[in-house]
Amino acid sequence: MRLILVPALLGIFFVCVPASSGQKSTPEQPDISRSGLDFLEICSSVDSEGTRDAVRVQREATCLGWMQGFTDGFLVYGELLSVPRRDRMACVPRGVTTIQVVRVIKKYLADNPGKAHRPTRYIASIALAGVFPCRAGR
**Domain segments of the chain: what residues?**
31-131
CA 84 and chain centroid, separation: 29
CATH architecture of 31-131: Orthogonal Bundle (1.10)
pLDDT tens-digit readout, 47-83: 777 777 888 888 899 999 999 999 999 888 888 888 8
Percentages (nearest 5) of helix, strand, coil residues in the chain: 60, 0, 40
pTM, to two decimals: 0.73
Name residues whose C-beta falls within 8 Å of residue 75's C-beta, 6 or more positions apart in sequence. 88, 90, 91, 92
Dump pLDDT digits (tens) for 14-24.
Answer: 444 444 444 44
Closest by Cα among 74, 98, 102, 101 to 88: 74
* Residues 99-119: tens digit of each pLDDT: 999 999 999 999 999 999 999
The CA distance from 15 to 80, in Å, is 59
Rounded-to-integer distance, Cα 12 and Cα 49, Å: 46
